[in-house]
């Protein structure tokens, strides 16, 4: 079967998706696909295209899972169906952290980066690529082993030159800092976290069926107001600052959440932390910079 024959098959009516799979399996761009219409397709490639098309159209499987990659802040990351598909709003976190680092100027070196709830590791690699030479240590944690395996795969695929000491840890939020697993080095700490923050009811009523069917629910929701993880982590940070003599000025956090949630955190933690909305995505998702008072 030639490319044009599969392209114009009546039963494969979503031509946009079909083109995507043809390009992916032939390893070509959309423009060059048009110059290959007479190319004979091997049977194996035809089967791959048909299977992928069926998964997408009949089973509603997200394209990112079928193709096993996602583009995030200009980099191609491996994903599989045990990971959340990184969302464009999270790209705002990279810009926010980069702006903060630029503001620090020469002081921005020897930092420790904590990526809490890393999953496929999009945050740290993107921050690193934007800010080479700024981090001497980096720690990625996730509660789930599956997630850490995806993160490690991306690390080995994408990091060619080790710029920082890197550690992957399975941990419940910051527990690894209290149970003797890791001792914080001297210097500034930048923590990035996009923890599950969607209230259960909001998730059940608003999220599309294919997200519910395919993506891990545990990556999205936690608690009635969605903030149980952030509250627990802020309590841990307070314990660190008070109990371990960490200088409040040297600990800065960037957190993704829904717009209205910043007010809840201000009400509960405003005495201890300063919360500043630094980026807004489509009115309802924000990136918050948070530091101890």
Ligand X SMILES: C[S@@+](CC[C@H](N)C(=O)[O-])C[C@H]1O[C@@H](n2cnc3c(N)ncnc32)[C@H](O)[C@@H]1O
Phi-psi group of 121: left, alpha or beta (phi > 0 → left; psi -120 to 50 → alpha; rest → beta): left
Looking at the Cβ atoms of 66 and 85, the one nearer to ligand X is: 85
Task: Say if residues 39 and 2 touch (Cβ distance below 8 Å).
Answer: yes
Looking at the Cβ atoms of 74 and 270, the one nearer to ligand X is: 74
User: Residue 87 CB, nearest distance to ligand X (Å)?
Assistant: 7
User: Residue 259 CB, nearest distance to ligand X (Å)?
Assistant: 17
User: Residue 244 CB, nearest distance to ligand X (Å)?
Assistant: 19
Contacts of 273 (CB under 8 A, 6+ apart): 234, 265, 290, 291, 292, 293
Rg, C-alpha atoms of the chain? 22
Nearest by Cα to 173 from 217, 125, 115, 240: 115
Q: 189-193 and 135-142: which strand pairing?
A: unpaired
Q: What is the DSSP letter of 95?
A: H
User: Residue 83 CB, nearest distance to ligand X (Å)?
Assistant: 7
Q: Is 130 exposed, middle or buried (0-12, 13-18, 19+ CB in 10 A)?
A: middle
CA angle at 237 for the pair 217 and 133, rounded to the nearest 5°:
90
Looking at the Cβ atoms of 100 and 144, the one nearer to ligand X is: 144
**Which spans of this chain sit near ligand X (rule: CB under 6 A)?**
84, 86, 90, 116-119, 122-123, 141-144, 147, 172-173, 194-196, 219, 229
Looking at the Cβ atoms of 101 and 195, the one nearer to ligand X is: 195
Looking at the Cβ atoms of 49 and 226, the one nearer to ligand X is: 226
């Amino acid at each position: 079967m030639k490319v044009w024959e599969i392209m114009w098959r009546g039963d494969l009516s979503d031509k946009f998706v079909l083109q995507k799979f043809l390009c992916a399996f032939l390893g070509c761009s959309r423009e060059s696909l048009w110059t290959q219409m007479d190319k004979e397709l091997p049977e194996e490639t035809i089967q791959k295209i048909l299977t992928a098309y069926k998964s997408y159209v009949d089973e509603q499987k997200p394209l990112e899972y079928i193709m096993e990659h996602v583009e995030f802040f200009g980099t191609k990351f491996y994903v599989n169906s045990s990971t959340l598909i990184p969302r464009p709003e999270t790209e705002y976190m990279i810009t926010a952290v980069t702006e903060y680092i630029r503001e620090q100027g020469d002081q921005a070196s020897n930092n420790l980066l904590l990526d809490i709830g890393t999953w496929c590791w999009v945050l740290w690699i993107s921050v690193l690529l934007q800010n080479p030479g700024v981090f001497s240590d980096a720690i990625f944690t996730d509660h789930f082993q599956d997630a850490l395996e995806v993160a490690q795969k991306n690390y080995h695929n994408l990091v060619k030159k080790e710029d920082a000491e890197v550690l992957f840890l399975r941990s419940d939020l910051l527990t690894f800092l209290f149970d003797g697993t890791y001792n914080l080095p001297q210097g500034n700490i930048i923590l990035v976290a996009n923890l599950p923050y969607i209230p259960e009811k909001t998730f059940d009523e608003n999220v599309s069926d294919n997200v519910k069917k395919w993506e891990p629910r545990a990556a999205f929701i936690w608690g009635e107001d969605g903030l149980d993880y952030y509250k627990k982590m802020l309590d841990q940070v307070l314990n660190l600052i008070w109990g371990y003599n960490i200088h409040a000025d040297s600990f800065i956090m960037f957190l993704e959440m829904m717009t209205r949630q910043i007010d809840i955190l201000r009400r509960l933690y405003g005495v201890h932390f300063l919360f500043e909305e630094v980026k807004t995505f489509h009115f309802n998702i924000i990136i918050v910079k948070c530091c101890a008072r």
